Structure 1
Amino acid sequence: MSNFWDNVSKFPRFLISVLIGFFLTTLNPVFELLKQKKTRVLIILVSTSFFVIIYTILQSMLGIN
């Protein structure tokens, strides 16, 4: 029974490492694109406009002024 609890206690560490690995693997192409000046400006503009659009949509949906 103690073997079971040892495995359960290791699960949070495993979950955190899997999540960090997922985000690093997913964002690695973006980091590679940020090394070039032309694509850096484009990515910043696209991401800024994306967040502004999402913010405006949520503000309208929730009725927040």
Structure 2
Amino acid sequence: MNNFWKNIKKFPLFIIAVFIGFFLTTIEPFFKLLRNRKKKIIIPTIIATIILIIYNTLRLMLAIT
């Protein structure tokens, strides 16, 4: 029974490690793209456009003026 509770205590750390690994793996290609000067301008523009589209979609869906 002691072993069970030790494993339960480790589970939150495991979940945090999985999320951190997922985000690092997902974001790593963007850092490689940022090494090129021309792409330093394109990537923030794409990210800003995506955020703007999501913002406008949510604003219209929720009828926020």
Taking the aligned partners of 1:34 and 1:60, their CA distance within structure 2 comes to 33
* 2:14 corresponding residue in structure 1: 14
Identical columns (%): 48
Runs of 5+ consecutive residues of structure 2 not aligned to the other structure:
none
Segments of 4+ moved more than 4 angstroms: none
Amino acid in the other structure paired with 2:63: G
* 2:55 corresponding residue in structure 1: 55
The alpha carbon displacement at 1:44 in A equals: 0.7
The alpha carbon displacement at 1:35 in A equals: 1.5
Runs of 5+ consecutive residues of structure 1 not aligned to the other structure:
none
For normalisation by structure 1, the TM-score amounts to 0.94
